[in-house]
Structure 1
Amino acid sequence: MEAKAKPWLVLSLLMAANCMQYYCAHAEPVVACLFVFGDSLSDSGNNNNRATLGRANFRPYGIDFPQGPTGRFTNGRTSVDFISEFLGFLKLIPPHADTSSSDVLKGVNYASGGAGIRPDSGMIGGDNIDLEKQVRNHSRCHVYASEKWILFPCVANVSCCPSPCLANRTPCQNRSEYVFWDGLHPTEAANRITAHRSYNDIMGLVHSSI
């Protein structure tokens, strides 16, 4: 089945609590923390234990991720994962479902597969954490935020893992040449490109604020 190439949005909030200009010299992250809101394009495991068909904690999802399947809706890392690496974080931003009190100091991923602005968005597949709930989960963190929207254009329209990407299905071998992993989500290769663009935009904002 062919994947429909369409513009997509990744909603993430970039939180900066301190002055950024000395971080690089001290091998610190470029920003103090990173908080992520969104849907399956950014979800890193928040749906794993929810009553929903919108889960990706099984192979071949995660086939190129060091830890294997984690709940990410792609073969490897998401754009958010790459952005956190580019910003200098030594660890990937953890999903809210797996965080403890100390984890929130560096950031949290609140994204949930199938989530939307409306509470009933994506509910046909089961339970999810809509945007209002994601913001509510974040309400305990009292920091300043700025919003960032990222658009991804469409190259090819064929998915690497035949849609629907069922458990233990054999995906394509040349995954780095595909834009779409399954019928809806980009591959790690596409996520890297998006993350590079986002990182450049973020750095432009950081430098302009110094």
Structure 2
Amino acid sequence: MTITAQDFSVRTTVYTEELEGWGSLRIVPLIPSEDIGLVFEWVTQPRAKFWGMTEHTREDVLGIYEFLDSLDTHHAFLVILDGEALALFQTYEPLHDPVGEAYPAREEDIGMHLLLAPATRPIPHFTPRLATSLIKYMFSLPGKDRIVVEPDSRNAKALRRLEATCFELGPIVQLAEKEAQLGFLTRSGFDEVQERSAR
């Protein structure tokens, strides 16, 4: 069961931005018990193979997100555009995650995962504009000055998106479930990109 747009109207909003030509973008906390239908539909589609849950049952997926919801260091969100859920967005503290053992993690780092929902309508330049908003949110968090990502090294589409968003690719590392390509974006690097694009 997919939850309806009006169900999001009373959600706490952690970030909002008015995007010209798009409407109102909101980031709201995921509520596993309420959002399981939507999330299960997204993560088990073949297009989400790099998310690693295509063979999971509904109960498996619910258990994972209930566990994440119990942590202070990992957070899951839905990205809402004018009432429609368009992405699953997760943040985490690398020092409290297995990826933190694969590189010199710092307290100032914040990790992220992003899964776009199946497209229901064409939105020009959707991914880079969405990424910019998510980056703004993460850099609005106190004490965070570097974003860390670790997509599957075989995920060519994700790697192209990272480079288009000015992430610097780091080493390829072996994590328990995958060979991952590390990528990094600093606050100063993002500010420089924003300044150039505004000229």
TM-score between the two structures when normalised by the length of structure 2: 0.23
Larger relative strand fraction: 2
Higher relative contact order (CA 8 A, sep 6+): 1
TM-score between the two structures when normalised by the length of structure 1: 0.22
